[in-house]
Amino acid sequence: MSQPATCHCGLWESSPGTLRSQGVPEGFCGICDVCGAPGHVRAHPAAPVSGAWCDACYSNLATGNGVLIARAVPWIALSLGLLAAGVAVWRSLA
């Protein structure tokens, strides 16, 4: 199984004791920050931070709610703006 080049699995070559002392099973290089499953230390797909994420949480971060909300914000702002404009017009007519 190929792992991302940016993760810390190289520690199994250079310093396996470090990973074992953190309770990380072989084949992984970190414990997931989200769910506690074995995972890999790597860069966040959608934000400029690094952390330990399992494969499931990593793909959630890449495609999940965080990204959807970020994409939805301009549309929510636009609808609220239109709503406010509509109410202002309605009030001026009433």
Of the candidate residues 7, 19, 24, 61, the single one contacting Zn ion (CB under 5 A): 7
Segment interacting with Zn ion, rule: CB under 5 A, options 23-31, 59-67, 71-79, 80-88: 23-31
Q: Which is nearer to Zn ion, 10 or 86 (CB)?
A: 10
Q: Which is nearer to Zn ion, 6 or 79 (CB)?
A: 6
Q: Which is nearer to Zn ion, 16 or 86 (CB)?
A: 16
Q: In angstroms, what is the minimal distance from the CB of 25 to Zn ion?
A: 11
Query: Is the sign of the CA dihedral 72, 75, 77, 83 positive or negative?
Result: negative
Mind spelling out the 3-state secondary structure of the chain? CCCCCCCCCCHHHHCHHHHHHCCCCCCCCEECCCCCCEEEEEECCCCCCEEEECHHHHHHHHHCHHHHHHHHHHHHHHHHHHHHHHHHHHHHHC
Residues making contact with Zn ion (CB under 5 A): 3, 7, 9, 29, 32, 34-35, 37, 40, 54, 57
